[in-house]
Structures are given as C-alpha cells and as structure tokens.
Structure 1
C-alpha cells in the first residue's frame, strides 16, 4: 500500500500529460477550423520544411502547426481524425519517449505525427515494426496521409533487391522491420563500393519510431543480429552425436540433504537451458567415442557438440521452440509472438544439433561476419522513440539501457473490460477440461471468444478438444501465419472462436461484429483493385459512413459491378447489427490457457478486449504443471495442495496462489533482464571496436582521396615503427639489435627496402633510426604511387584497405566467439569472467590492428596492377 502511495506521489506521468494537453493539444485544436479551409496542405507543409531547413527554426518551433496539418491530412485522406490523446502520444514520440497506449487506441495513426514532423529535417525517418505484413499495411494506409502532405514513403520487404531498398530508404519516411533494418546496416558496413550502400550515406540512422517497442528492444534483445558465412567444419558429426546422446541417461543434480553427487550421465537446468555432464557421463562418452580425454585440446569440439546435442534433445521441443517447414527446414518460432523466424538460426552449433535430432539436412555451420545487438544498434540513432500497449513495467530497463522513459497515454474512452480472477488447477488435464467447458458455454450464447496459448503444441491440443465437442473455430499460430490478418480482423464477430499463439504485434484490431472496412477491401481486391489506392479508399470510407455518394464513387472504379457495390454497402449494416448483438452478449471474452513468463505478454492478450470503450472480459487458466509454475512457483504451495487432496476438477482461487504466480513471473522477468544486461555488457566491449572498424571503413568508402592516402601512409608508418620496436627495441643497445630479422620483416612487406643500408642504423640513436626508416618507407610509397599512377593508386588503396579490414575483422569476430564460449571457465579460478573477457578482447583487438597494418603495407607494395600478387 505504501509503495502505491509513493509511486503516485513521485510519478510525473499525470503532470506530463497535463502539460502536453496545455502546450500541444489546446493550440492544435485552436487551429483546426482555420486549417480545415487550407486547400493545399502539401504546400503549407513544405513551407514548414523550408523554415526548418533554411530558416533556422527547429522542430519544437513548428510542432503545433505541423500537428494541425497532419491531423487535417488524416481527416481528408483516410477519414481518421487524431484524437486529443493521440496528439499527446505523437508529442511523446517526438520528444524521444516511449508511449504506452492501450490496444485499439490507434498507434499506427499516432506514428504519423512523429514521423511527418521529423521528416521536415529531410534526413529520413524510420517506422520500425515486427513483421513484413505490419510494415506493408502501415506504409499503404498511412502513406495516403504522408503523400497528402507532400512527403515520400518507402517500404522495405524481405525479398527486395538492393536498388529497391536504396530507393525506399531515400524516401522521407520508410516502413521497415527491425531485422531487415539491422541486417541492412550490417551489410552496408560490409559494402565494397558506395553504390552497394542502401541506407542514406549522409544520415543512415537519424530518427526512428519503434512499434511494439517492448517486443523488439526487450524480448528480442536476447538474440543479437548476426550475418554469417559458411565455415569449413564437418557437419556429419552432428548425426553421430544425435545418436550417441540417446544412449545417455538423464539424472538428477546434487541437492543438499538429498544426494551429495548428481546421478545419471548428465543433468539439466531448465531455467538457464544448460546441460552438465557428470563424471560417469564423461567416462561413458569417452568409451563410446573411443577417446582418452573428452576435454583435451584435440577433443574440445566433440565435447561442445555433445552438449549441444543434449540441449537439442531435452530442452528444445518441436512445435514449441521450432517447426519443420514444408522444405524440411528447422525454423525457429518466436516465443513472444508465436511467429516463424525464417533466416534466423540458433548459434554455436545448436541449430545443427536440432537438425540432426530431427534427421533433416544439416546446413553448414556458420562463421560470424558481422554482428550487433538490438540495444547497441538502436542507440546509434540520433533520436528514437517507441510505442506499445505495455511498457511501464519495463521502464527501468528502457531508462537504464536506452535513456528513454515511458509516458502512459490516457485512453480515448474509459476501459470497462472485466478482468476476472485466475482459476488454478492441479494438472493440465483439469485445466484444459475447464477451458473447453467455458468455451462451449459461452459459444452457445454467440459471444466471440479469443483463446491465447503459449505454444503451437498447446493451440493444436486445444483445437483437437474443441473439434471433439463440435465447436467451430479458427487457429492462428506459426504454421498458419499467412491468414493471420483475416483471422484477427474477424475474431470479434458473434459466434467466432479464435485460438491464437500469443498476440503481440498482430497489428489488426479486433472490432466487435467484425471489421467492415477489411471485408469491403477484400471484396474489392478480388476484382483486382488495390485496397489502399486513393480512389478505392474514398469509396470504402464513404460506404462505411453511409454517404449517399458512395454508390456513384464505387461505380467509377474499374471492374466494379452494381451487385458488388450493393454487397459492400450491405456489409456496413450487417457488421453494425452484429456489433450491437455482441455488445449485449458482453463483448469479446479472452481466455488465457497459461500465464506467460512475462506479464506484458499476458496484458497484451487481455488488451485485445475492451478497445475504445467496448465491453469485454478476460480470465486466465493456470495449472501447476505449466512450465512457469513447475519451474518457479513455491514447492510449499504444491505440497499444500497434495495435503488438501485437490483433484483435477477443483479450481483454486486463493490469494496465496495468485501471489505465487505473480512472484514466479517477476522472478523470470528478473532473470531475463539479467540475461539481456549481460549480453549488452559483453557487446559493449565489442561496440567500441565495431565503431572503430566501421568508422574507418566508411571513411575509406566515402571519404576524399586525400583521407585514403593519409590512412595508408599512417598505417605504413605504424607498421615500420612496430617492426622496429619488435627487432630493435629502445631498451636494447644498437649493437644488440637483430638487424637481420628487421631487414627480413621490412623487405617482405616493402621489397624496395632491399637496398637500404640496415647496418648504418647501428650508428644512430633510436629516434634517428626510426625517422630514417619511416622516411625510406615514405619514399618507397611515393615511388610506388608514381609507378601505378595517382588515380589507380587511390582506387587500389581503397580496395586493399577494405579487403584487409574485412578479412581480419571476420577472423577477430570468430576469435571473440571462441573467447566468449570458453571465458566462463575462468570463474573456476576465482577470476571475474567479464573482466577477463574485456582484457582478452582488448588485447586481441590491438593485436589484430597491428597485424592489419602489416598486411595493408604488404599488399600496397606487392599488389600488381594486372590483378595478381607478386610472390
């Protein structure tokens, strides 16, 4: 109670909202009548652009007139007027905050405010979302608003070619998924020529709004973005290991007061998804593989593959963590959204181990070519903001990692949804029996029901139970993702029963009675029209308003018959009648078949009901056999249930049980935060190195010729100094210098130094020797430049720098992967693994830079103009 009072006292959310109402909403509303008379909205908006780009004004100076113009453009182009609360959300996005807006509050429309305003600077703005479908719908529909303002809109889709991507990023506003954007950034930093860049060269990462920001920046933050290339490693060994682990016996870990030693050949820690071999297991594996020492240097790879095979067997389940698609490929299923993640692979050989377990074709093991975490990627933006339905519970993480606080935006209408207490059962069987009974009972009245599950396996099990009861229903999971928009759009119709695997980021609102515009759009697409064509949009909006001009507008569209127009006009009346019926039945009812490990995911499911003041209700069903409860709930509660003799059919509604669920979720959230924080800490070590390498590449790729020449001269000078330090160190007398080795090392890189009098260096001081050698190397470089010709020499320099940097950076990343995998063992020696990682990583990076300088020197003097390398 005290915490709640303190939170209310020190939470500035209400004050911030009130301030935005006063400084943004009120002045924008005051301009509405005046701006409704403006004929040329694009002309007025471009005036603001000139004031920002040429007149010295900043965006804060023009936010009010810009928002007023954007609102007017929304009204005219798509028939949607920004609510006052949406203006507040738009302001939060502009000021770099996370806007928490309930489901159904129109986040897609809110984003137009932040994007169009920031597009006035002319540096490109990105709307980052979770999948291609949402990106396309957003760009298509909201594109009508932007074009009314004279702005250009681009869309990035998975299968687009580089030249198409470049054109899309060159637009004022670009809709793109988080993975496509991240990979485009990494690929740009592997480009060999400026024409291969797809992001803007001048401002690649200027401003972004991240949709479903918690899903992208928190849930997906545990998996870094990685571009890989095939590594030359044997894959058939994975099949051998998959068969071998079937012969191993899973045991129980040591437990104080129960057993002093673990049993079996290996034990499993499900919370951290880790496998631990026992001494007996190690001996057995050595016998089965006919080797002496599993952990010798020669057998380390085998040990790693054994562990991954065991993880694949016991910790990763088909139709939960992954599916096998029609091509026989193992495709990861996103645990938070329930969607397939094509192209993403588990790292460190785990994906190959799963392929071997499932006896499908094993793809080549990969070597990292470029990588970055989402945390460090989005921190590269000059400014970014985000929006989601659930963010306040994660505000500390947003502040700590991204420096962005959360503003909770009030709903346009009061939420009247009834959130019923959880029902907890002893077993899953009892839980599913109760879920089916409630579905059957509510379905009989015609009330629409949305059932949320946490895995494909659960959704298909429930589907089977409903089929046995004769209940017609729709299933939405990673196997049937193509039809998701249609399924979700119509989930609010009377009698609809929809089973969905997670509901984060579905993008389509569930409207009571169904989505009339969506139905009309589908009917028009069947005759070859584009849903978001401006003329089609005008007809649909008019038809949905009941405008008498709708019929005439429809008949002007190509391929549209009078019968089709009649059908579309009829849709509105049908949907409205069904909407009233569903409201009387209590609105959409949400059933959660399991508590997710994140409270946000549960809240996202609940938020599907009760949008825009609609009635609705929700209830979660839980069993003590669910993963969350089994792994994290208190054993005292389970023991109490056993003493009470609870059977499968008796639900528990005790506060103690509800508290156990909340504590279990909080424990998992804390653990996941620790994982993300650790990932970020390790990536921060790489981040400075990555920034150094990428900045150097960009300078070589886009910089003037003089900068390239200075880089080459600097590297050659550094190489000469490093070689001197190695063979003629300052703390050794000149007569003891190893001049023979010094000559061999320098002549190998700079052949023309063969004629240099190395013996003469003994008569000089260290500084004089250094200056003389650097001067000789510079003379050799000038001679080489004269030999090749200025233009060709610079081109050759760019080529050499990029090739050498990329090759050694790739090898460095592989070394960092190996270091990361084994660094945990340092803990056994009472040393901090993270500090050891920082030390070793810095040492490796410095060594790479030194080696890289030598290779650049060698190639600049030995690369032949005809294309070969002199021997």
Structure 2
C-alpha cells in the first residue's frame, strides 16, 4: 500500500532525484545568460577572469558558491575555444553536483571527463590543489593532456602523477593547481610521505578536494584490498626453527584439524603443552595468549599449518634448496611466488632449507580511509545507484542521477538461460555470427580473462564453427510450419555463414575475426575499444576492460588518425600537418559512412556471457551501448552451470527443466527469471557490503592510531628544535619509573629503591644514591622524582654541550623520528597478528571487534611507553666518533615494495605497472601521432657508457648510480 502511494506521489511531484536535479535548473539558466557576453571577450580577457576570481576569494569578498555561475560560464567558453567542445546543460548540472561533494551518475558517453573541468576549475581557484583520480596511468595521462588544454588556456597549471616518477617530479605535479593521478599513486605517496624524515621531502601538500572518476570501481571494487608498503624484516630464522621443533612433538588430541575448511587450531591441552615447551626453551613467560605473546601465537599457527595442512609434493615441492608452491588448479610450479604472513618461512623451517627473510608491512591504508582524508570528495560514474547506501554509509556521499542529453534508445532484452555451458556458448557464437553477417558491431562481455580466451578459442576453431553451422542447417531442415518460416530462414542464413566462414579461413586466420582486450596494458585496450563500433566488429572484453573510452558507432576519428600516422612512421615516412589534415578529412567521411551502416544494423549489440555478482558491473557493460541517443541492444546469455546460477540452486532448476522437456539448444526466457536473478544479486551485494564494512571497522581502529602517529611525525618534522618534546619524554619516563618502583600507596619500607637505581642506571647511565635518599627522614616519592629529574636534565645539558648544541638538536630530531618509525612498524606487525587470532574470542561469547579495540589500545599505550624509554635511552648514551659519522648523514628510507592486489584478478597492480614500464608498453602518442618515449627510458646496452651521463637516460633518484660508485643516484651524479 505504502509503495503504491509513493509511486502515485512520484508521478505527481517527481522522484526525489528529479526534484534535486530540477533545483539546479535556475543556475543553468544564469550560466546560459552569460554566454553571449563571454563570447565577445578576447582570449586574454577571458583568461584574466581567473586572476580576478582568485583575488576576490583572497579578499574574502566572495565564496566559491558565489563564483559558481561566472566560473562555470568561463570554463564553458574556455572549452569551446581550447577543445571545440561546449558543455551541455545536463553537464553543467553534473558539475554542480560534483562541486557540492556528491556523486554524479552519468550514462556512458555523456562526457564525464569534460564535466569535471567545471568543478575542478572552480575549486582550483583557491590555490589549494585539486586532485582528479583515475583508474589507470593511461587515463591519468590522457585526461591531463586532453583537459589540461582548457585549464592552461584559462591560466591554471596542470600536473600528472603516473607510475615511475621520482620525488621531484611528483612534488612538482602536486604543486600544480590541478593534478591527475591514479588512486594507487595517491595512496602510496601519502604513505611514503609519512615515512620521510624532512617535511621538505614530502611530495603531497594536503587533501583539499578530489573528484574520483569511475568512483564505484575505485571506492568499492578496489577498496576490497588495502594499499601496502612492505620491506624485508629482520632475520628471525632461529625463532622459526625453534617453533618448528615443537610441532612434531604434538599428539592428535593437541590440535583440531578441518581439512575441508583447511583450518587447524590448538586444543586446550595443546595450548598447555605448547606453553610448557616454549617456557622450557626460554621463548616466553606467562600464558601463550597474553597480549605480549601475540606474535608468538602467529608463529605457532603458521608452523601448525605448515605441518598439518600442507603436504610436500602436493601443495609444494623442494627444488634447488627452495620451497616452490604448486598451483592447486593447474598442478604447475609457481617459482618466485611465496605464501604470506610467515607461512612460507614456516614451510622452509619444516623442510630444513634456508629461511628467507619475511616481508614486513611498513605502512598500509585502505582506500576508504585514504579518501576520507579529503575536506571535500566527489565522484562520477555511469553506475552508482545500486551501491548508493554504501557510498552514503562509508563515505557520506549522496548519489544524484543526471539525466541524459538525449534519451536512451537501447533495448534491454530478457536473459536467455540454457541448461549447459556448451549450449550457451553455441548460442553466443551463433549470435556473434549473425551480427557479423549483418554488419552490427558487437561487444561481448565476460567475467574473467580466462572466459574471454575460452570464447576466443571457439571463434578461432574452424571445426567447431563448421560443426555449429551444420547443426543450424540440420535444425532448419526440420522446421516446415508457416509460423516457423522466419526462424528457419534465420538458421539457414547463420548455418551457411558459419560453414562458409570456416571454409574460407586460411592458415591461422579466425573464421570469425575478433579482438580480445588485454586488461594489462590500458593504452592498447583504449585503442581497441575506440574502434569497437565499426560495422561487424567483434570485441571480447572482461568486466574491467573498456573503461574511460567511448565506443563510437562507425569508429573513432582521432584513434584512426593516430594509427595511420604511427603506421606511416614505421614505414619511414613522416607525414606533415597538411597530409595529416587531408587524411583526417578522408577518415571522417569513411567513418560517417560506416556509422550509417552500423545504425542501420541496429547500433552496438552488448552480449554478456554471464551475470556478475553485482548488478552494477552488469549495468556498466550494458551502458556501453546506446551512447548519446544511439540505438542499441543488450542481452545476457546464461547457463545453469554459471557460478551465480550454481550458487543459487541450479540443481533443482535443472531437474525442473528436464521434467518440462526442455530440448538441447533451447533456452528459457521470462521477465520473472530476470527478477529472480536480480534478487540473488542483491543478496550477494548485501553480503559483500557487510564484509567490507566489517573489515573497515577493524581498519578504523588502526586508522585512529595511524592519524595520531602521522600527525605527531608532521609536528616533529615541522620543528627545528624538538628539545622540549624530548624533555617531556624524559620527565614522563622518570615519573613512570618512580611510580613503578615507589608506588604512591606503598610505605617507605616497601619501596624498591635498589630496582629504581638499577633502572635509572640502565636507561640514563646515571648511578644515583637513591637508597641513601630514601633513608632521609620525611622524604617523599615526589622529592626523589624531582632529584632524579634534576640529575637527568643536567646530563642532557652536558651531552648537548659535548656534541655541540646544533648537532645535538639534529640528533634529537633524528632519534625521535627513527625510533617512532621503528616502533610503529613493529606495532603494525603485532596488530596484523592480533587481527588473525582475535576471531577465536567469539567462542568465549565475547565480541571480537570490541576485544580488538581494547587490546589494540593497550598495545598502542605500550608502544608509546617504549618510545619514551627508547628515545631517552639512546640520547643519554649516544657518542659521535666524528662529525662525519653515518648518523649525521641523511637517513635513507628502508627498501620498500608497494603492492595493491586487484580483487578480481588477484594480481599485484604495481608489479603489472613495473612490467609495463620495463617492456616499453607505456609509450604514448602525441596529437600528431609522434610516439613519446616510455616513462622510464632504458638505453640499449650498446649505447650505455658508465662514464657518459648522456647515455644513461632517466635514472630514478633512489636507484644505484650508473657510474658504478655504489652510491644512490641522488647522492652521486644526481646531487643538485
């Protein structure tokens, strides 16, 4: 009843989204009213408006909201002159939504890239820097160059952050008014900045305003896994071996093994036995599950898994003195791959081979917590409404659907569901062949790279294609009724087409020509997508492919010109501007003709080979068709063997379809099936949201502590003199030691003055007559503390005088920062280990999250106490052999490896980027088609001369100097 009333009200008053969009219309009219006035300005006069706006903001006479109308009108005029593109009214609305810090949902082809120029320009007027976030390096570079023409025309500076830049280049890019960057690079730069020793070395300058392109991909899909910077851990081989000696001594009742779930854990008797053996070895005191032993528990669990769950020659082999993992699906060896969290080291200890150092997390952050650093955050995508609740709950972002400039003409057909995957693929190949025959471009979406390759192999298989054609012809012969004549004609045409295609394919040629997108190299991907609208083009893509580039019916003129110029250059010819202009005109006519053919064939056909767990991913694929009012079709082909169907009870459905007499090759199609599948997807989406939300709750605990540490580091780096901070640490430490050995409530005869004397001597290097002081009549603990403090301060002053006041101030700063970093890294490891075992608290009817919060707080307090003692102890004992000692040299960051695992492919995106750079796959083309050098130029071995820096190409600042000195480049030939 309520839904009926709601629907009736929406018809009268419009939906809430429609009402919000309507609220922007008045300002659109104001912007349009300024258009004629701005047309009459010269380029210099238009550019001068930027300086005027900035001055008004600096004077405080206007706010950003006050400038929205004139600024947007200025950008629209600037885009017309710099790019020949004029913002539509709906694009102006999209820009307003982004300026307000919301998500603008705009359909594919509606020009989101151009929309962003409006709020970016407006917010960049503050001079605080605006970040535009993209999903890959290619888009960051493309958009910075493309839209940068508008910003530079209007007097703003534009920077671009991609993989492979050094710190100076990054700092310059972040210093620009507008910076384009990938989400990975932004996050890693933030983490790296908070490991620097000097504020001047930091590359980022704050987090004022960010617009996230493909916001659903970045803030939801990629946010499943955190960004991690790791480095080698100190050698713990002896500990792994000591723990490994214990495990074989356990008996069956000491542990519980669940092979199905691949889990193993100690029983109560097992705990007692392990505690006893660890105590005998001197590895622990107290209980195994005391908070200070949480890392030891981690090592025990790893060793237990290595012995009880992992079998040699099944899960791994030992080859050449190394433990090599065996892929459980293919049975192949995977050299170079290692299990994480110390499991690989436990296997090495078990097999008595050399134990390689474990990698330690030096810093990590989730995208959720990184992007919540921004004062204002906005996003744009074609598909956000299905995840609106998550955006609001996690990021505080509202989703506003922006109407299309021209109505959507795409026909979304009901799903076709087949019994088996073989029948489904046969129907898919037939449909692809039909599109090729009629000249209709088709985009085939798959859920994984493997499925793309599988379909590609079918299209290349001449025997399969020929057999499929014969089956279609045989099926057509059986149809004789008048009602079946149309379907008979269709099968006959398809059958003949397939048989002829297989017969005409010579050599290795594919009977059905097609392109498969490789999601690793985004530039190649974009080039393929740009031409996927040509008549009869067949493009197979995974869900992650084809982002950021429109599929234009007929083809893409700019991409075609670049391809032609590149081909000419490879042939040794260098076309001039006139030749390029003539070719462009020729290609424009050809593509216009091809567009007419594609339109007559029905526009772009989007065919999906499976339903994804998320409706949003399905909608992304579907949205590739129907661009800017073009006609199009979309259909999903499913089978009961698909993952989603199998999970949601396809066995029962299979038996029902058999009973109903569904024949081979026949499909079931009904709107009810679509609704049932959508309900299944909603359940999966809700479950995944709950998982992400739960993970975030745990990360929030670490994030609160991370903020405290990073803020403290910033304060310390910003101070020339940290002596007051060091003095406060000394005073707090003295008070703690006195309270520990002389409790306030204890009588004088209960004081442990000998222990206090020993502790003061150990930490401060002072042998004080504390026992004598304690024997003085009427002396209080407070007075003893004051005397100790006086002696400690006096020694600190002597140490400063001995080393030189300026030197000592520098040493204090270095010691505080280095010690803080070291203890923070150890704390991160401890928290990781705690997170892995805290779930067991649920068996004791205790909430694991609350337990984690409580214990993490205790560990954090312990870390701060260790900081006070470690800093004070080092400064009280430090001696410098000479002013040129290593301690006075600039501190190098530890060896680091950045990683972010793609949640769909399981591959490390940063490793993929490195491989792309090494392979030269990132070369770009400029407007004239000239190929730019790769981001990281590698000279050919024959051209390289260690004595001639001119032959080195570009060298990363932290790389070894090519001259062979053994120093880092920045401390050798790279020194300014």
* TM-score where L is the length of structure 1: 0.83
Partners of 1:4 and 1:636 in 2: how far apart? 34
Could you tell me how far 1:853 is from its partner in structure 2?
Answer: 0.6
Could you tell me how far 1:37 is from its partner in structure 2?
Answer: 1.6
Partner of 2:302: 301
Map 1:351-750; keep pairs closer than 5 Å.
365-468=358-461, 469=465, 470-478=511-519, 481=522, 483-503=524-544, 506-524=547-565, 559-560=575-576, 562-633=578-649, 636-705=652-721, 708-750=722-764
Partner of 1:342: none
Of stretches 449-458 and 477-486 in structure 1, the one that deviates more from structure 2 is 477-486
- Judged with a 3 Å threshold, the aligned counterparts in structure 2 of structure 1 residues 817 and 217 are, in CA distance, closer, same or farther, namely same
Could you tell me how far 1:755 is from its partner in structure 2?
Answer: 4.1
Query: What SS does the corresponding residue of 1:818 show, helix, strand or coil?
Result: helix
Partners of 2:147 and 2:153 in 1: how far apart? 10
Partners of 1:299 and 1:450 in 2: how far apart? 51
RMSD: 3.6
Partner of 2:52: 47
CA offsets 1:554-596 (integer angstroms, 9 cap, x no match): xxx9951654432221010001111111111110000000001
Partners of 1:662 and 1:802 in 2: how far apart? 53
Could you tell me how far 1:303 is from its partner in structure 2?
Answer: 3.1
Answer yes or no: is the 8 Å Cα contact 1:426–1:647 preserved in 2: no
Answer yes or no: is the 8 Å Cα contact 2:38–2:74 preserved in 1: yes
Could you tell me how far 1:798 is from its partner in structure 2?
Answer: 1.1
Could you tell me how far 1:774 is from its partner in structure 2?
Answer: 2.8
Find 2:110's aligned residue among 85, 97, 105. 105
- Judged with a 3 Å threshold, the aligned counterparts in structure 2 of structure 1 residues 320 and 571 are, in CA distance, closer, same or farther, namely farther
Could you tell me how far 1:395 is from its partner in structure 2?
Answer: 1.2
Q: Does 1:216 align with 2:242?
A: no
Of stretches 657-666 and 446-455 in structure 1, the one that deviates more from structure 2 is 657-666
Map 1:754-793; keep pairs closer than 5 Å.
754-755=767-768, 757-761=770-774, 763-793=778-808
CA offsets 1:583-638 (integer angstroms, 9 cap, x no match): 11110000000001111100000000001000111000111211112123465434
Partner of 1:538: none
- Judged with a 3 Å threshold, the aligned counterparts in structure 2 of structure 1 residues 854 and 304 are, in CA distance, closer, same or farther, namely same
- Judged with a 3 Å threshold, the aligned counterparts in structure 2 of structure 1 residues 573 and 362 are, in CA distance, closer, same or farther, namely farther
Could you tell me how far 1:526 is from its partner in structure 2?
Answer: 5.8
Query: What SS does the corresponding residue of 2:668 show, helix, strand or coil?
Result: coil
Partner of 1:163: 168
Partners of 2:332 and 2:112 in 1: how far apart? 34
Query: What SS does the corresponding residue of 2:34 show, helix, strand or coil?
Result: helix
Could you tell me how far 1:725 is from its partner in structure 2?
Answer: 1.7
Query: What SS does the corresponding residue of 1:38 show, helix, strand or coil?
Result: coil
Query: What SS does the corresponding residue of 1:864 show, helix, strand or coil?
Result: coil
* TM-score where L is the length of structure 2: 0.74
Query: What SS does the corresponding residue of 1:417 show, helix, strand or coil?
Result: strand
- Judged with a 3 Å threshold, the aligned counterparts in structure 2 of structure 1 residues 305 and 184 are, in CA distance, closer, same or farther, namely farther
Partners of 2:799 and 2:149 in 1: how far apart? 58
CA offsets 1:443-492 (integer angstroms, 9 cap, x no match): 11110000000111110110011112310000013366552011000000
Answer yes or no: is the 8 Å Cα contact 1:452–1:605 preserved in 2: yes
Partners of 2:335 and 2:526 in 1: how far apart? 26
Answer yes or no: is the 8 Å Cα contact 1:92–1:98 preserved in 2: yes
Find 2:83's aligned residue among 74, 78, 83. 78
Answer yes or no: is the 8 Å Cα contact 2:414–2:670 preserved in 1: no
Partners of 2:69 and 2:803 in 1: how far apart? 60
Answer yes or no: is the 8 Å Cα contact 1:454–1:596 preserved in 2: yes
Partner of 1:818: 833
Answer yes or no: is the 8 Å Cα contact 1:429–1:648 preserved in 2: no
Partners of 1:638 and 1:363 in 2: how far apart? 51
- Judged with a 3 Å threshold, the aligned counterparts in structure 2 of structure 1 residues 801 and 277 are, in CA distance, closer, same or farther, namely closer
Could you tell me how far 1:79 is from its partner in structure 2?
Answer: 0.8
Could you tell me how far 1:70 is from its partner in structure 2?
Answer: 0.7
- Judged with a 3 Å threshold, the aligned counterparts in structure 2 of structure 1 residues 151 and 640 are, in CA distance, closer, same or farther, namely same
Partners of 1:681 and 1:733 in 2: how far apart? 46
Answer yes or no: is the 8 Å Cα contact 1:105–1:612 preserved in 2: yes
Partner of 2:259: 266
Partners of 2:376 and 2:215 in 1: how far apart? 14
Partner of 2:101: 96
Find 1:28's aligned residue among 19, 28, 31. 31
Query: What SS does the corresponding residue of 2:716 show, helix, strand or coil?
Result: helix
- Judged with a 3 Å threshold, the aligned counterparts in structure 2 of structure 1 residues 821 and 69 are, in CA distance, closer, same or farther, namely same
Structure showing greater Rg: 2
- Judged with a 3 Å threshold, the aligned counterparts in structure 2 of structure 1 residues 452 and 413 are, in CA distance, closer, same or farther, namely same
Partner of 1:852: 867
Instruction: Give the number of aligned pairs.
Output: 774
Answer yes or no: is the 8 Å Cα contact 1:98–1:404 preserved in 2: yes
Partners of 1:597 and 1:848 in 2: how far apart? 42
Could you tell me how far 1:385 is from its partner in structure 2?
Answer: 0.6
Map 1:825-836; keep pairs closer than 5 Å.
825-836=840-851
Answer yes or no: is the 8 Å Cα contact 2:82–2:153 preserved in 1: yes
- Judged with a 3 Å threshold, the aligned counterparts in structure 2 of structure 1 residues 25 and 460 are, in CA distance, closer, same or farther, namely same
Q: Does 1:59 align with 2:47?
A: no
Could you tell me how far 1:178 is from its partner in structure 2?
Answer: 0.3
Unaligned runs of 5+ in 2: 245-255, 271-295, 317-324, 349-353, 466-510, 888-976
Could you tell me how far 1:781 is from its partner in structure 2?
Answer: 2.4
Partners of 1:422 and 1:362 in 2: how far apart? 54
Answer yes or no: is the 8 Å Cα contact 1:94–1:114 preserved in 2: yes
Of stretches 146-155 and 635-644 in structure 1, the one that deviates more from structure 2 is 635-644
